[in-house]
Amino acid sequence: MAALIAPAGSRLVLLLVPLLALAGCGRSKTETTAPEPTAAVEDEDALDEGGPEHEANTYVSTSFNEQTGMDAATREAEGMVLPEGDFAVTTPAAAKELAEAAVAESLDPKKTWTLSPVLPKSWPSNEPAVVVFFYPMAPNPSRLTEYLLFTPAFRVTVVLTDGTTSVEKLGKRKSLGTINETRPSSLERRELELAEAALVYQVLGADLRSKENPYWGYRKYVHEHPKLGRDLSRRSAAFFGWIEGKRR
């Protein structure tokens, strides 16, 4: 049938087409060998150190790194009025940006990193400072859509009055299990933005007059991200215990 598409009178083409077809068939037979399977990772220590070699990842920004969508009018409507003062940092996004800059050279580029919401350095808060935890993640060799989550490698303190930072390198990492890294809904993102903004304002001395609980977003975050949420609840037990008490 292939010879039927050749132009009339082209005997050379008529002779070559069957020969090319045969050559193609022969070539296809030699190219059907299946590729060798990828070797499975058996060393658990290799997973704890970030898994097998893979394409290098720089810091992966999550929704928590996005600029907050709340303008001044929205914050004031929620009862968040910043007290008078010369503050270098007044938003969660600015605090996280400083925290990222503080550990930029320490983050292993072979790993994926996710960071926590801003949390108070202590609770009840007695100083204008927040902390951010940096969690390393490694691809799960068993499931391409999952990550292996480990305890945080760094705890960064950001002083809101002057923007200074300090980095604490935490101990040996332990596995927290596997997670599916999915993008949060707009509602979840909005609730967390409000909760983080409320915390920054309260740490700076604001009197929150909102009739609703502005910290609902933290409770929602722990519920939606149970493995990471449980670890954060342990590291900031007084704060999360206070939030839990506010809903009763």
Note the maximum CA span of the chain: 95
The whole-model pTM stands at 0.70
50 versus 95: the higher-pLDDT residue is 95
**Is residue 178 within 8 Å of residue 147, measured between CB atoms?**
yes
Average pLDDT, the chain: 75
User: In angstroms, rounded to a whole number, what is the distance separating the alpha carbons of residues 46 and 84?
Assistant: 51
The token duo for 30 is 């030699």
Nearest Cα neighbor of 196 from 241, 154, 149, 243 is 243
Residue 105 is classified by DSSP as: T
- pLDDT the model gives residue 211: 53
pLDDT at 2: 41
pLDDT confidence tier of residue 198, bands split at 50, 70 and 90: very high
Q: Encode pLDDT of 130-181 as tens digits.
A: 999 999 999 988 888 899 999 999 999 999 999 999 999 998 899 999 998 7
Antiparallel, parallel or unpaired: β 154-159 and 119-120: unpaired
How far is residue 107 from each of residues 4, 60, 98, 198, 247, measured CA to CA in Å?
64, 11, 14, 29, 37
Residue 114 has pLDDT above 90, yes or no: yes
Q: How far is the C-alpha of 141 from the C-alpha of 148, rounded, in Å?
A: 9
> In the chain, what are the domain boundaries?
44-246
When pLDDT is cut at 50, 70 and 90, the band that residue 220 belongs to is very high
Rg (alpha carbons) of the chain, rounded to whole number:
28
3-state class (DSSP) for residue 32:
coil
Please choose, from the candidates 193, 182, 190, the residue with its C-alpha nearest in 3D space to the C-alpha of residue 224: 182
Measured between alpha carbons, how far is residue 186 from residues 10, 100, 108, 230 in Å?
66, 23, 30, 23
**Which residue(s) pair with 146 in the sheet?**
180
Close Cβ partners of 104 (under 8 Å, ≥ 6 residues apart): 59
User: Are the beta carbons of 170 and 152 closer than 8 angstroms?
Assistant: yes
- What tokens appear for 92 in the block? 């969660």
Q: Where are the beta strands (DSSP E) in the chain?
A: 112-115, 119-120, 129-139, 146-150, 154-159, 165-169, 175-180
pLDDT (0 to 100) of residue 130: 99
pLDDT value of position 145: 83
